[in-house]
Structure 1
């Protein structure tokens, strides 16, 4: 089928004809796409393709270009309900010539079973692509019974719907937590709090990297934390590398409950060390003194650093040196109030983490079902 070559600049949030862009197929859309989804962009009026055979329920749109082997990602259109839809730049729209159950092709063509057919057909070095001719060489496997196909697609669709709901719950919880941060650290609440420099709150330790010419530096049992280990989870309890303290200056290892802050590039990614570890030079860590709650300081940083990042974002390579970090000012109440605030925020973090684990379990169940159904 026909596709257009419209760029993002030729799309808008309003119009008469919808457009399926390959970037959205690769990243935004799932295996099936509800055509009534209000986030699908429109073609800027006047740029519509003349005599276009618009997409209909059951058509699939394949992304024919990507920077990696995700090329070939597919979405099946459903719930068109009279809408006019074009397949856009770098897509291959296909219409089945034999009957398939609704949504079956969308799910099947995103399985490893189908995608492995595409890998030897991909062309390119920096950017990979697959042609219409090569797509036509691939094979579709399906039960002969449309009823059985429908059972498969319905099960996967229900799992996707449940995952979508779970994702919305997570976003709502994160939004509520952001509201709590704004509430607890608002100017009205903090005007009675004491101002402290970071150097007054604790000892700052800047990491270093052990010499690589002596491999024995990397044969130890101490965790080695780099910026890639920071930011995904609040508590850092494991890393890919382990090192020996002998490759570092004495006193470099961090004690548990140190607050870790990235200080080069993306400044202010945060974590809390749950065990002794060593960090590299792109991290400042704060060993919190008595009279301060390390979790409260973590949340104070979580509130502080987004605004700080926006101030230094125009720099070629933003750097927060140890001396500059020590001069930063954080407001804090007495310890009892710190503990109450951090306890409330920590309970929200635990709820978000639990909900995220449930979502991850759904994804694992989905992968397992696909492996069993499509061999």
Structure 2
């Protein structure tokens, strides 16, 4: 991706004399380490004819070997053992590994010399990559489709379900807010009571929570435990999108941590309320957020937002429709995970 699309501005220096010019098909070694990439990564320039790179990168072009095969080889991370041998332990500076350029080019790599065999491996991995891309596109399109269906079914003017009775109320008039327990990440434990942290609503859970990944041995008053149908809304986050994320808990007796609003309503099914908050009034919640590096939203402000919701019978119909779409998304995601696992396993087996 170019810097204008990514940063919405030009971030590189106007003076490019201190940069490397990388041409399409050439490679660059990024010495930055991160989770899952302990010794950095090597990538080929594919998307553009050429690009400029900082001298912190090690750039190179191939003299021989099939380029697609070499690309797959560097995706396998089998080359890490060579980098490990030349990267001095603890010699890391500002997130960069201390890998001398001359020693990087002296590393030894083991691969088939038969170009036909290299081509077969490359073609197989390319086909698998295309399959993964197609599956990812399917998942993304299903999620987009679901968002459209949610907005349609929860719109009095667009809903195709017949004889729906609509009611308009302020959120605070049909339910109550309870702040989460005064607990945090420090209270996570291997055993104990199921436990949800506020940051996980945006990163871990979807509109409906049917299982929980954390536990805690900390005790909390009964008011901080979930009831089936409770809607969880964060009170703070890094972006307005995070605090306009809501989830309905379909499990009882889960401790809900601080910086979470527990919204309890008897007139609207929690799943319907979660969909309304996430897809219908999410922009209004985002607009009332305050703060810069960390944004906050008050329950009293959310209470003032008006929503229009269908009658109980229609709510059940809508929930069934959306649950069927969600199941299809879950199945497609499971297939995508299996494809990624297959790719990882093959990359480990195809290279010595």
Q: Same fold by TM (over 0.5)?
A: yes
- For residues 173 and 115 of structure 1, the distance between their equivalents in structure 2, rounded to whole angstroms, comes to 37
Matches within 5 A, 1:253-268: 253-265=225-237, 266-268=242-244
Gaps spanning 5+ residues in structure 1: where? 1-7, 14-22, 25-41
2:254 equivalent to 1:285: no
Q: Which of 71, 74, 79 is equivalent to 2:42? A: 74
Structure 1 residue 86, shift from structure 2 partner:
4.1
2 CA distance for matches of 1:307 and 1:205?
Answer: 21
Q: What is the Cα deviation at residue 342 of structure 1?
A: 2.6
Where relative contact order (Cα < 8 A, 6+ residues apart) is larger, the structure is 2
Unaligned runs of 5+ in 2: none
Q: Assess, with a 3 A threshold, how the Cα gap between structure 1 residues 159 and 124 changes in structure 2: closer, same or farther.
A: same
Distance change in 2, residues 1:48/1:252 (3 Å): closer
Q: Is the contact made by 1:87 and 1:93 (CA closer than 8 Å) also made in structure 2?
A: no
Select which of 114, 128, 133 maps to 2:96. 128
Out of 46, 51, 70, the residue aligned to residue 105 of structure 1 is 70
1:186-205 equivalences in 2 (<5 Å): 186=155, 188-189=157-158, 193-205=166-178
Alignment correspondent of 1:55: 23
CA contact (8 A) 2:195 2:255 kept: yes
Give per-residue Cα distances to partners, 1:225-262, cap 9 Å, x unaligned: 10233233322412222335xx2223321123322221
Equivalence for 2:248: 272
Secondary structure, in 3 states, of the residue corresponding to 2:251?
coil
Question: 1:153: Cα distance to partner?
Answer: 1.8
Number of aligned residues: 328
Alpha-carbon contact 1:109-1:115 (below 8 Å) kept: no
Q: Deviations over 1:94-127 (max 9, x none)?
A: 1223x31241111112223212433452753332
Within the alignment, does 1:92 sit opposite 2:58 as a pair? yes
Q: Superposed, which structure 2 residues align to 1:167-316 within 5 Å?
A: 167-186=136-155, 188-189=157-158, 193-210=166-183, 221-231=192-202, 232-234=204-206, 235-244=209-218, 247-265=219-237, 266-276=242-252, 277-289=254-266, 291-303=267-279, 304-312=281-289, 314-315=291-292
Partner in structure 1 of residue 113 of structure 2: 144
SS where residue 349 of structure 2 aligns?
A: helix
Residue number in structure 2 paired with 1:114: 79
Distance in 1, matches of 2:115 and 2:234, equals 54
Q: TM-score if structure 1 supplies the norm length?
A: 0.74
- Which of 282, 303, 312 lines up with 1:335 in the alignment? 312
Q: What SS does the aligned partner of 2:94 have?
A: coil
Q: Return the TM-score normalized by structure 2.
A: 0.78
Greater shift, 311-320 or 164-173, is seen at 311-320
Distance 1:138 1:272, change over 3 A: farther
Alignment partner of 1:194: what SS? strand
CA deviation after TM superposition for structure 1 residue 302, in Å? 1.0
Q: CA RMSD in A?
A: 3.7
Determine the structure 2 residue equivalent to 1:38: none
Distance in 2, Cα, partners of 1:139 & 1:270: 52
Question: Greater CA deviation, 354-363 or 100-109?
Answer: 100-109
- Tell me how far 1:267 sits from its aligned partner: 0.8
Once residues 366 and 275 of structure 1 are traced to their aligned partners in structure 2, the CA distance between those partners, rounded to angstroms, is: 35
Aligned partner of residue 105 in structure 1, secondary structure:
helix
Deviations 1:278-333 (A, max 9, x none): 111111122331x4222111111112224421442655533233444444332212
Say which of 318, 335, 350 aligns to 1:358: 335
Partners of 2:170 and 2:234 in 1: CA distance: 18
Mapped contact 1:92–1:132 kept (Cα < 8 A): yes
Structure 1 residues 372 and 219 mapped into 2: Cα distance closer, same or farther (>3 Å)? closer
Kindly indicate whether residue 351 of structure 2 is the aligned counterpart of residue 374 of structure 1: yes
Tell me what 1:5 maps to. Answer: none
